[in-house]
Amino acid sequence: MLTEDRKKLKDKKRIVIKIGSSSLTHAETGELNLFKIERLIRIICDLKGSGKEVVLVSSGAIAAGRQALGGQKRPATISEKQAYAAVGQASLMMVYQKIFSEYNCTAAQVLLTKDTMTNDVSRYNAQNTFDELLNLGVVPIVNENDTVSTHEIQFGDNDRLSAIVAALIGADLLILLSDIDGLYSDDPHKHPDARFISMVYEITPKLMEMGKDTSGSDVGTGGMSTKLAAARIATDSGSDMIIANGEDVSIIHDLIEGADKGTLFMAHTNQDFDLMDYINYNY
């Protein structure tokens, strides 16, 4: 049964989709799952065909570099991660652009750092670039510029990055695809009786405390705490947000059609919203 709030999702026009590394790679090997990437791109192109604007925030650069370099384990040091990302960003975009072109769509790469967003001029330029790309019918593919980021200027995870992008471009829906079904009252991997939360109308301090820095993947980085931080940014900026399981990327279509899947965080525009406050705040 569709709720009224979920029925409204089909009317969203500007959508940001974030997909994590664990949803783009094979669990057994860590290599890119080309079948899943192809399905993701087909869905995005279909959304564009229905008149929607879509921005994809994609993890996977380090995983792609790891594959290209024949690495057998996740890089541990910052310099290793930056080297893997330098190789992987190019490799991943080649895959994206090739498959997007097969569906007569054009993709563009947008690499951001925290410095880009904290500087007024570069943030304004980034916003204009997004607007122009969307006006041209292009799908921007966003990632943090891992090859130049240091700890001091990192967003830290693509959950928060995707929410910042959603706020920057005035998106009305953010979809976070991860390796979890949504928000639970506790970590369901450790507590089988944890209660699933389908709707969130207000992000309270108690809700933020539910966030646990856990991730069951060898390639992902973000736990529930990062997703709740993203939800606070998105909903305060006026965007609904959904956390859903990206195991089957066709869930994107189901969500926009109003299916009762994932956790829906309802927008509650904060009149005092200042993106800079959220970029610099550590949750």
Residue pair 55/142 in contact by the 8 Å Cβ criterion: yes
The pLDDT value given to residue 219: 41
Q: Which span out of 67-76, 77-86, 95-104 was modeled with the highest average pLDDT?
A: 95-104
If one counts every other C-beta atom within 10 angstroms of the C-beta of residue 276, the result is: 11
pTM: 0.90
Per-residue pLDDT reduced to its tens digit, 171-181: 999 999 988 89
Least confident of 30-39, 178-187, 218-227: 218-227
The pLDDT value given to residue 149: 59
H or E segment and range at residue 276 = helix 275-280
d(CA 105, CA 7): 28
d(CA 42, CA 54): 12
Residue 262 has pLDDT above 70, yes or no: yes
d(CA 183, CA 194): 10
Instruction: Give me the sign of the Cα torsion angle 137, 141, 142, 146.
Output: negative
Nearest to 83 by CA among 99, 67, 66: 66
Per-residue pLDDT reduced to its tens digit, 42-67: 999 999 999 999 999 998 888 888 88
The pLDDT value given to residue 281: 60
The pLDDT value given to residue 44: 98
Distances (CA, A) of 269 to 12, 152, 211, 274: 16, 29, 22, 11
Q: What is the DSSP letter of 194?
A: P
152 confidence band (pLDDT: 50, 70, 90): very low
Percentage of the chain exceeding pLDDT 90: 51
The pLDDT value given to residue 221: 41
Residue 135 has pLDDT above 80, yes or no: yes
If one counts every other C-beta atom within 10 angstroms of the C-beta of residue 154, the result is: 16
Q: Which residue segments constitute the domains of the chain, with CATH numbers given?
A: 4-280 (3.40.1160.10)
In sequence order, the 6+-apart residues with CB closer than 8 A to the CB of 231 are 163, 200, 203, 241, 243, 265
d(CA 67, CA 24): 13
3-state SS assignment for residue 114: helix
If one counts every other C-beta atom within 10 angstroms of the C-beta of residue 175, the result is: 27
H or E segment and range at residue 203 = none
Instruction: Name which residue leads in pLDDT, 114 or 9.
Output: 9
The CB-side HSE value for 162 (13 A sphere, CA atoms) comes to 35
The pLDDT value given to residue 215: 44
Degrees to nearest 5, angle at CA 33 with 198 and 154: 70
